[in-house]
Amino acid sequence: METQARTRKRAELVDRLIELFLERGFADLGVADLAKLLRCSKTTLYAVAESKEQIITAVVRAFFRRATDRVEARLAEEADPRLRIETYLRAISTELSAASPAFFADLTAFAPAREIYRRNTGFAAERVRRLVLDAAPGQDAAFAGAVAGLVMEAIHRGEIKANTGLDDSAAYAALATLLVAQTGAPTPTPS
């Protein structure tokens, strides 16, 4: 029982850290700052991981894992192959919309977190390629899927924001609109 209680408390702490990181970023916050903001001890924080860098990595990994689970759950609700593309990309947009510019700046600056984001972007790009091919098999779909993957990687690298001013969330929403138009999918009505 004690292990289950510790696991639950750790998960709750990680949830609170995710919210804090999304709102404020993490680079400028030391363990003492985190403990003060979360009203817990540094020892409690070290239950998440053994160092500040490991805490950051664990929290960023948890954020993307949970976001992926929610995105996949939304995708599972949509049966129409063409609408699944938009559903998937808009769900990503929704998940990223909670993240502040400070979070994305810190994500880019901290190599372990940047690698987690890069890996997740790669998995998502491959998922979009498969969704596009499922929606409209053929050469045009293969091209659209490849372009979607390249755009997603450019979003991750910050190139889309630099060239358009769109943050990651808005860029994923714009990509959804573009791909839906390319595949000829009807635009769903908001629920």
Each residue's pLDDT expressed in tens, for the chain with a length of 191 residues: 568 888 898 999 999 999 999 999 999 999 999 999 999 999 999 989 999 999 999 999 999 999 999 999 999 999 998 899 989 999 999 999 999 999 999 998 999 999 999 899 889 888 988 888 888 777 677 787 788 888 988 888 889 999 999 998 899 889 888 887 766 655 444 44
% of the chain with per-residue pLDDT over 70: 93
Rounded Cα distance, 191 and 71, in Å? 17
pLDDT at 191 (0 to 100): 44
Identify residue 60 by its one-letter amino acid code.
Answer: V
Pairs from 82-85 (Cβ < 8 Å, separation ≥ 24)? 82/135, 82/136, 82/180, 82/183, 82/184, 82/185, 82/186, 83/180, 83/185, 83/186, 83/188, 84/131, 84/134, 84/135, 85/128, 85/131, 85/132, 85/135, 85/176, 85/179, 85/180, 85/183, 85/185
Domains present along the chain, CATH in parentheses: 2-183 (1.10.357.10)
Quote the pTM value.
0.84
User: Are 78 and 36 spatial neighbours (Cβ–Cβ below 8 Å)?
Assistant: no
Nearest to 27 by CA among 120, 119, 113: 113
